[in-house]
Structure 1
Amino acid sequence: MNKPNDLAIRATDPNDIDSNASHDNHFNSILNARLSRRNWLRGSAVTAATAVMGSMGLSACGGDSDAAAVTPTPTPTPEKLLAFTAVPKSLADVVSVPAGYTATALYALGDSLRAATPAYKNDGSDTDFDNRAGDHHDGMEYYGLSAAGAPLASGAERGLLAMNHEATTDEKLSSHFLHVNGGTTTLPRPAAEVDKEVAVHGLSVVEVKKTGSAWATVNDSAFNRRVTPLTDVELAGPVRGNALVVTKYSPTGTKTRGTINNCGTGKSPWGSYLSGEENWAGYFTRSAADNAARGDKSVVSLNRYGRSQGAASRHGWETGGSDDKYARWNLSKIGASADGSDDYRNELNGMGYIVEMDPYDKTRAIRKRTALGRYAHESAAFSVPTVGQQLAVYMGDDSRNEYIYKFVTTAVWAAADANPADRIATGDKYLDSGKLYVAKLAADGTGQWIELSLSNALIQAYGAYKFADLADVLVNARLAADAVGATKMDRPEWCSVNPANGEIYYTLTNNSNRTVNPSGSSQLAPDSANPRAYTDMKGSSAQNGNPNGHIIRFKEGTGAAAATSFTWDVYLFGAESGADASKINLSNLTADQDFSSPDGLAFSPYTGICWIQTDDGAYTDVTNCMMLAAIPGKVGDGAKSTLNYATAAGGNLAVDTFIGKKPTADTLKRFLVGPVGSEITGISETPDGKTMFINIQHPGENTALANIGDPSKYTSQWPANAGYGAGKRPRSATIVITKNDGGRIGS
């Protein structure tokens, strides 16, 4: 999420930093997707069953031979999923959806949540972002309300959208679309600019309501809410109260200030909202002499999480003034205390978690669930809840050469917890006690979940970092995963659980550091689970590595969610349809299916469709980012394949991999293409499956700061060019999609 358009990382952008210099072996050296059975049948299988039963008809029963015959029930037409015509690739500055569908902007950057907050002018002069929609709309979940405004899971015409606001479009420190003249691009930054930029990050909750066939937000709803990087947030789980999270703001190590760079989401089986903190490290700075000032193992941790000494912050917020809210962005050891209670040397340890919020109740505490580990979190996908069995939460660490994780609860699922009186207390029950695992994949299509705890001898004996306790393992989950030799992956992003069979799908967006002939510690040769290393041309620019990404899937072994083994294959390889089918387009994608850099991923709990969203820079000379609809099969439905690469030494590198069944026009097709420069992200549906909400993030992000005063030079003017809102500056926004005939989305 929120990555540079090109695979090469911009010097000024700290996102997607590859900080994994461990020497772990790669392969070459060795929904809430919960779906009741009733919902699944209602989705697709029931239509076939209904058709069969309907064709039989009914006759009168009993001894009266003169009884009138009952008129046969008409045979309904079974619902056919993916019946829409595929949307072609496009470079237009619009949102394109299939014929028979309508997409409308609903909730955009700056939209007011309170009647007292003026309408958004969209000229850089707006303030009061504590009461406006934030920027870079990202992961999102829908929570139903009854007509009277009470929580109702089945509420399909009134509800709440809870969403992440990941970041803001920036160039040279400043978030230029937020400020009249583009903002200040030198240090120090003015306090007013910093305050505005901080406030557009975080989370929001907004009530939405359907009137007739139209959806709109409800201004001044009692549910409307903003959570920013300054909101008080509790630490929960094993890290709470640990010395590693002691700061000037929280000398007891029990809380932190806010949440930042929130990306993917999750919806718990008990109805809470989960948000993943992703590229949080780049917002902080360290002095050039901080290693010597610290003189302890914290230097190893900071380096592993991308904050080496002398690292500059993304926006320079630490220069906004002398107030403590600016000081917290400086990680340097500047206080005299031994424990860090007089500065923010430990501030980074309070970031990088899954955050839990009750979207219905703003009086309940927001909690960071530290038992799930600290890394660049994307989404959090739950195993299908089964009474009497443990739950699993599946997660990925979104950076090149990082890992795939799962958390297994100590508590077993109780049916009564599906509708609890206190959602956050229920979160305490399931998410504060359990085991964190990391994935290690083998070249034969099997894998192991390796527990990350001090009971693991490899973690105890790790020479690069001495772990003190479980809290230390969780705060430094990346180092613990290094210690056990976990498998480095091509940027694990969103994940989702297939409600039909419980299999887990992970998007691996891309990796520019994969090569047949590695020459540095960050470069990796292709292996079975990440088998491609090739060159993709974007105009005259060569993009090397795995520029188009792929989607991998796991099937748990014995033990269901608590299994410690699994099998895997690659569901889809992103590629241009015309690319070499023997080494690049391994899934044989056609022009109606081809895509690059899969990112957002979610299974519909209502139709079972797998929705795939892209955040791409490799294929954007041909098409803007997109969303596809898929009906997957299962792990092992394809075949083993061998890729052969010529090495620099004149030899051959043979890589075996496992490829899922090739998609057809009936099982994969493009559903949506977004505006120029945008990423397609965030997805949620109403419980009847008839309304879908999608987020369009950072349209026009490549507009140069020098062109801020000339709308004709904006690379995008969406959604203003679609008739939404004032001004012409591009804005991240939520769109609502409906089918013109009132049917379910994707049919």
Structure 2
Amino acid sequence: MTDVLGGAGHYDDGLIDTNTSANPTIQELIDQRYSRRQTLFGGISALTVATLGGMVSACGGDSDPPAFGSGTVVNAGSAITTSAGKAVTLTGSTTNATAGADAWTQVSGPSVTFDTKTATTASFIAPSVSASTVLTFRYTATASSGALTADTTVTVTPAAIGFVAVPKSLDDIVKVPDGYSVTVLYRLGDPINTATAAFANNGTDTGYANRAGDHHDGMSYFGLAATGNTPDPANSLRGLLVLNHENINQAYLHVNGATTVGGARPEGEALKEMECHGVSVVEIVRASLSGAWSYVQAGTLNRRVTPLTPTSFVGPVAGNAALRTAFSPTGVAGRGTINNCANGYMPWGTYMTNEENWAGYFRRDTGDVAARGGAAAKANVSLARYGIPENRPGNYAWSTVTPADAASTIYRRWNITVQPGAAADGSGDFRNEANQFGWCLEIDPFTNTSVPRKRTALGRMNHEGCWAGRTIVGVRPAFYMGDDAQNEYIYKFVSATPWVAADASPTDRLATGDKYLNTGTLYVARFNADGTGTWLPLIFGQGGITASNTTYAFADQADVLINARLAADVLGATRMDRPEWTAINPVSGEMYCTLTNNSSRTVANTDAPNPRAYTDPRTNGTVTNGNANGHIIRLRETGDTSEATAFAWDIYAFGAGSDLNPTNINLSGLDATNDFSSPDGLWFGRSSNASGLVSPVMWIETDDGAYTDVTNCMLLAAQPGTVNDGGVRTITNTIGATTGTQATRVGRAPGTALRRFLVGCKECEITGIDSTPDGRSLFVNIQHPGENGSPSNITSNWPANQSGTAATGVRPRSATIVITKNDGGVVGL
């Protein structure tokens, strides 16, 4: 828009208007031209006219008339077209006028928040829109004759994936698209208090209870207020990063690898290995929107939760006899957490960590089956179903340690063998210790003295994750979980308590967790061939889950939850191809679950939701049979409510190399820009920014062994459609001489709406992901780089080599990275 102003003085000759004709005035002509240009160009880039002594000066496009003199000009810059989530910079200019620091204002369109405003520029993030939308901005300057303005427009289209796909790579570095930067933020061994020495990374380090653990995995960001330790869910410059440490690269933790002495592990090595497991809570900060991220070593909320940290059991199983041990004779006290893989961000501001492959850590000596009453005894049926047979030493053989403190039980707890003479109720040994694991553990990151709580109503299994569905006032919320093992099940827990809006920001967060997670119904999924499904309740006394069951005689609801797998077996749940992470589309409410792979899937036992069994060739001449590349299944609750007991489903995408048979294997039509294998981590962009609104971005992480001869593991971004946007497909499966057909339900081919965003370093897994609320910083975990190496054969130097050449012999470290867009926009858009 243009202001026409007179000179510094004003003359009034007293004459009145006596021309009654309809002839246009010069201002009307100018206004008509303004309207014409806006129609032609989507808005005026600049049009400012100043009247100086009766002379007119105009500044505009190429069709403008020539200037007749030296006028005053205010130019708001050219019209801009962009998409939601992208960074926008407006640039104005003046001639013979002065603009102040607050020269830019918004005139129309969805409101934006300016990041910066100067005398010439203003920047902001294009807002989320569902259709092309025009925003108008005004640039104001002051001349001797008064205020002058000029307008410009920004046309915003809906959010779309906005980067060029990263090629596949076998290099020892993390690669991201052009226009993005990677910063290594929090690495194995980094100290989390000022009393702990810097990490030497040569095997001599100790004190891991005050250092970052190993195998960074599931992760969430919690905003902190600018000062103090109170939550601020909107703060994208200061927060707490909470992340799992699933496992260890054992060889690199010690000077020359792990050792044994006389068949026993040294105490110092075993303690170090235990403390490297668990969870980190660490403060992180960014000086400004364009500044670098760093973790705060002296953060007062920093803490580690390890296998040695006190915990408590809550919910229906708390105090049950099956939880009694020499450490916890009442069955209420717990000790630590282990093999924590995926996670969950609870709607009331807490972190849910989940115990996955815990069973392998326990020793069980030959003869224990007989000591427990024979193979048919309930305890032995349970241990067999959860994968703890006789004659196994337990991961890392921690139970062999002879501690300096003879009274310590932190090592012998890993031996669940019945001890001669011990009390039959389990309170005199650790025969029941395995029952203390396999749960979801809730942590309040804002209270570092709080005791984490094991949420027993959510059942016991190889918990991969626990993700909350949408919270709607008056509706009982649901929490979705996968049981990560071959041929296991997908579950959901529906709270008995309808959601209350005020509980999004409670004073006592763990008490709020009690409110929603201690009482409710645990369900397991059965998928039907016609694209429908049913949630089957795991309730004692129903559906054959009774004391008279011939496979396992359930005693009560606590027994059902401790042995959720056995209860799900009775109900006839659908066996899946390793259910891992779950994620909820924040707009549609649809649940997605990664089915990573399944080497035991055969032509004969495929079904509609797990339809592929094939031979997958590798470049080294070996082959993998079964469902080597995995797939991602999704479901939509009937009535779009978390309380539903029925759903519709299809398969969003099938992992496959782009060179594999498109008729029967590469069913999603993947190409070189988006082919992947073994989907694992899964997460949707937050609804606090454009990546989680309208058409949310879904991030897919891989943990692969089938395609790593072609490329390192990766992170992909997708904008998926909806359940049943594809159709029915019948495929032919072939392994060797065996063939068979299988009908399934295939989603719409992802095409360019699925794209490779990151490729990791050597021998790593990409896992764990979250962003700041504004979506401008994306946190990703790089787990176990160089996992196949040793101190004498180091196979990766990451992350030391991320920003240059690493020193010879530097050991790899699991680490959290933060990815930012160089122009400040929302990552991925």
Q: TM-score, normalised by structure 1?
A: 0.88
Structure 2 residue aligned with 1:123, among 197, 202, 222? 202
CA deviation profile, 1:131-190 (whole Å, cap 9, x unmatched): 000000000000001211331000100111001000002xxxxx1100001120573111
Partner of 2:586: 499
Partner of 2:610: 530
Q: Name the aligned partner's letter for residue 474 of structure 1.
A: L
Segments of 5+ residues of structure 1 without an aligned counterpart are 1-37, 59-67, 170-174, 518-524
Partner of 1:628: 716
Structure 1 residue runs of 4 or more that deviate by more than 4 Å after TM superposition: 38-45, 68-73, 646-650, 723-727
Partner of 1:733: 815
Say whether 1:176 aligns with 2:246: no
Q: Relative CO higher for 1 or 2, CA cutoff 8 Å, sep ≥ 6? A: 1
1:49 CA displacement: 5.2
Structure 1 residue aligned with 2:305, among 200, 218, 227? 227
Secondary structure in 2 aligned to 1:161?
strand
Partner of 2:49: none
1:227 CA displacement: 0.7
CA deviation profile, 1:188-214 (whole Å, cap 9, x unmatched): 111110000000000110100102410
1:614 CA displacement: 0.1
Aligned partners of 1:721 and 1:728 also within 8 Å: no
Secondary structure in 1 aligned to 2:244?
strand
Partner of 1:743: 825
- Write the mapping of 1:686-725 to structure 2, written as runs, cut at 5 A: 686-703=772-789, 705=790, 708-709=791-792, 713-723=793-803
Aligned partners of 2:166 and 2:758 also within 8 Å: yes
Q: Name the aligned partner's letter for residue 510 of structure 1.
A: N
Say whether 1:420 aligns with 2:506: yes
Partner of 1:194: 270
Q: Name the aligned partner's letter for residue 463 of structure 1.
A: T
Secondary structure in 2 aligned to 1:385?
coil
Partner of 2:554: 467
Structure 1 residue aligned with 2:414, among 329, 354, 359? 329
The number of residues matched between the two structures is 681
Structure 2: how far apart are the matches of 1:74 and 1:513?
58
Aligned partners of 2:315 and 2:518 also within 8 Å: yes
User: What RMSD, in angstroms, separates the aligned Cα atoms of the two structures?
Assistant: 2.3
Partner of 1:271: 349
Partner of 2:438: 352
1:485 CA displacement: 0.7
Say whether 1:405 aligns with 2:405: no
CA deviation profile, 1:501-528 (whole Å, cap 9, x unmatched): 00000000000001114xxxxxxx2111
Aligned partners of 1:355 and 1:366 also within 8 Å: yes
Structure 1: how far apart are the matches of 2:539 and 2:393?
33
Partner of 1:104: 183
Structure 1: how far apart are the matches of 2:624 and 2:736?
19
Aligned partners of 1:44 and 1:79 also within 8 Å: no
Partner of 2:706: 618
Partner of 2:533: 447
Would the alpha carbon gap of residues 70 and 40 (structure 1) be closer, same or farther in structure 2, given more than 3 Å must change?
Answer: closer
Say whether 1:565 aligns with 2:646: yes
Structure 2: how far apart are the matches of 1:397 and 1:183?
31
Aligned partners of 1:647 and 1:653 also within 8 Å: no
Which shows bigger deviation, 68-77 or 619-628? 68-77
Would the alpha carbon gap of residues 646 and 508 (structure 1) be closer, same or farther in structure 2, given more than 3 Å must change?
Answer: closer
CA deviation profile, 1:452-490 (whole Å, cap 9, x unmatched): 011313212531100101110000000000111110000
Partner of 2:634: 553
Q: Name the aligned partner's letter for residue 295 of structure 2.
A: T
Would the alpha carbon gap of residues 48 and 297 (structure 1) be closer, same or farther in structure 2, given more than 3 Å must change?
Answer: closer
Structure 2: how far apart are the matches of 1:336 and 1:226?
33
1:644 CA displacement: 2.6
1:46 CA displacement: 3.2
Q: Name the aligned partner's letter for residue 188 of structure 1.
A: A
Say whether 1:339 aligns with 2:421: no
Structure 2: how far apart are the matches of 1:290 and 1:419?
49
1:80 CA displacement: 4.1
Partner of 2:458: 372
- Write the mapping of 1:534-683 to structure 2, written as runs, cut at 5 A: 534-538=614-618, 539-558=620-639, 560-605=641-686, 606=689, 607=691, 608-645=696-733, 653-665=740-752, 667-683=753-769
1:54 CA displacement: 4.3
Structure 2: how far apart are the matches of 1:107 and 1:432?
34
Partner of 1:86: 165
Would the alpha carbon gap of residues 466 and 218 (structure 1) be closer, same or farther in structure 2, given more than 3 Å must change?
Answer: same
1:381 CA displacement: 1.1
Partner of 2:287: 211
Secondary structure in 1 aligned to 2:422?
coil
Q: TM-score, normalised by structure 2?
A: 0.80
Segments of 5+ residues of structure 2 without an aligned counterpart are 1-109, 114-123, 140-146
1:645 CA displacement: 3.8
Structure 1: how far apart are the matches of 2:664 and 2:457?
40
Aligned partners of 1:629 and 1:669 also within 8 Å: yes
1:318 CA displacement: 0.1
Identity among equivalent positions (%) equals 53
Secondary structure in 1 aligned to 2:171?
coil
Would the alpha carbon gap of residues 490 and 454 (structure 1) be closer, same or farther in structure 2, given more than 3 Å must change?
Answer: same
Partner of 2:128: 46
Partner of 1:303: 384
Structure 2: how far apart are the matches of 1:71 and 1:39?
19
Q: Name the aligned partner's letter for residue 456 of structure 2.
A: T
